[in-house]
Amino acid sequence: MKRSLTIRAAAVFAAVSLLSVNASAMHIAEGMLPVPWAFGWMAVCVPFVAAGFFSIKKKVALDAKAKVLLAMCGAFAFVLSALKIPSVFGSCSHPTGVGLGAILFGPTATTVLGLIVLLFQALLLAHGGLTTLGANVFSMAIVGPFVSYGVYAGLKKAGCKSAIAVFFAAALGDLMTYVVTSIQLGVVYGNFAEYLSIFALTQIPLAIAEGLLTVVVFNVLEKYSKEELRALHVL
Amino acid sequence: MKVWQKNLILIILVVLIAAIPLWLCRDAEFGGADGLAEELITETHPDYEPWFSPIFEPASGEIESMLFALQAALGAGVVGFILGRITAKKPADAGKA
């Protein structure tokens, strides 16, 4: 049973990759969502993106060096979302890298960073898509960062060490991104549980990896940029 | 423990997380999770057809991986540059743990 499933999956995968190289994208692929859903998700994202621009303007005015840190958060998301990592469940996916931005600059500012990453991948890599940009922005650049931000704030309030709070914030934000992706496909095509098993299960070890990598960068910032982090109300 | 020691351990853990599946599931395909999702859609909705196709597609798997490498390189370059500046500007702190 399991064997035939893998063989079938392999055959389909081979066929699809012969047809186009665009087969493997962990975001919702171009044209995958029906028109009303595609534009609906875009509409949902607009206020968050707008709020993000204002938030960035405010945060950058707070501290002169914040701009540099913001650029680094964007670059961090660039690296992490380019790394397709094998998972113990036999498929590949990639982290999102938006947790760091959410912790440092808040969720809406990170929405803008995520939008940039997703646009780059949709335009140059045929990864994700323009028509599904709204849905992907919602999962990766809105829900993910809000979860990360909330988890970090909650754990800090509960008296957790910063590094521990950062780990759980980044890991859970990453995981929730793919839970939302599963819901987005599930509401259109049914089989929510199966999409969940494809996306979210694959993502569990990757979410842990993202949490650890975010802590690596945070450790350096905590040591060398304490003032900036204080100005941004992170510490 | 110094920051670089802590970080080295964390990075080794990440490498292990990425490498262990290759040992554990030797006969797995390691295809993209979304390829599986697309398969599931075509299975449950045989008339499924994407209504829009990417306006630009990398010409081959090689070119796609080049663009992915470029994305990672750009990001890593900026992260490294900024972390380098941040850690270099306060040499007085360098001795403290």
Chain A from 118 to 147: CB within 8 A of any B CB: 120-126, 129-131
Q: Has residue B76 been placed in a domain?
A: yes
Residues 6+ apart with CB under 8 A from A6: A90, B27, B28, B29
For residue A86, the cross-strand partners are A92
**B2 within a domain of the structure (yes/no):** no
Using an 8 Å Cβ cutoff, are A113 and A79 in contact? no
Give me the mean pLDDT over the A102-107 stretch: 96
pLDDT digits (tens, 9 = 90+) for A191-221: 888 889 888 888 999 999 999 999 999 999 9
CB contact under 8 A, B32 and A23: yes
Confidence (pLDDT) at A19: 36
In this structure, is residue B69 part of a structural domain?
A: yes
Chain A residue nearest residue B50, CA to CA = A31
Q: Give the single-character DSSP code of A85.
A: E
Confidence category of residue A7, pLDDT binned at 50, 70, 90: low
Say whether pTM exceeds 0.80: yes
Chain A hits for B53, CB-CB cut-off 8 Å, are 30-31
Q: Sign of torsion, CA A225 A155 A53 A84? A: positive
Nearest CA of chain A to the CA of B58: how many Å?
6
Predicted pLDDT of residue A119: 94
Which strands form A91-93's sheet, in the order they lie side by side? A85-86, A91-93, B31-32
Contacts of A27 (CB under 8 A, 6+ apart): A118, A121, A127, A128, A129, A132, A136, A139, A140, A181, B34
CB-CB neighbors (< 8 A) of A215 in chain B: 10
∠ CA(A130), CA(A38), CA(A186), 5° rounding? 115
Domain-embedded: residue B94: no
In chain A, where are the structural domains located? 24-231
CA of A21: which chain B residue's CA is closest? Answer: B61
Residue A17 clears pLDDT 60, i.e. is over it: no
Residues of B with Cβ-Cβ distance to A69 under 8 angstroms: 82
Residues A108-145 have pLDDT tens digits of 999 999 999 999 999 988 888 999 999 999 999 999 99
Is B80 inside any structural domain?
Answer: yes
Facing B7 at nearest CB: one of A23, A86, A216:
A216
Assess contact for A84 and B67: CB atoms under 8 A. no
- Asked if residue B1 is part of any domain, the answer here is no
Question: Which residues of B are less than 8 Å from A80 in CB distance?
Answer: 75
CATH class in words for A24-231: mainly alpha
**pLDDT exceeds cutoff 80 at B91:** no
Burial annotation A109-137 (CB, 10 A radius, 16+ → b, else e): bbbbbbbebbebbbbbbbbbbbbbbbbbb
Residue B45, domain extent: 7-52+59-89
A98 in Cβ contact with A214 (< 8 Å) = no
Contact A126 B57 (CB under 8 A): yes
Contact B55, A33 (CB under 8 A): no
**Tokens coding A164:** 């521990």
Q: How many domains does chain B have?
A: 1
Note whether A116 contacts B: Cβ–Cβ < 8 A. no
CA distance A185 to A37: 10
Indicate the burial class of A225 (C-beta count within 10 angstroms; 0-12, 13-18, 19 or more).
buried
B39: nearest CB among A9, A20, A81: A9
- Among chain A residues, the shortest Cα distance to B34 is held by A26
Q: Identify all chain A residues contacting B52, using CB atoms and an 8 Å cutoff.
A: 30-31, 129-131
Query: pLDDT at residue A76 above 90?
Result: yes
Residues of A within 8 A of B55 (CB-CB) are 123, 130
CB–CB of A212 and B36 under 8 A? no
Q: Is the pLDDT of residue A22 over 50?
A: no
Nearest CA in chain B to A85: B18
- CB contacts < 8 A, A to B, total 222
What DSSP state is assigned to residue A91?
Answer: E
Please, is B93 exposed, middle or buried when counting C-beta atoms within 10 Å of its C-beta (0-12, 13-18, 19+)?
exposed
Residue B95 lies in a domain: no
What is the chain B residue with the closest CA to A219?
Answer: B3
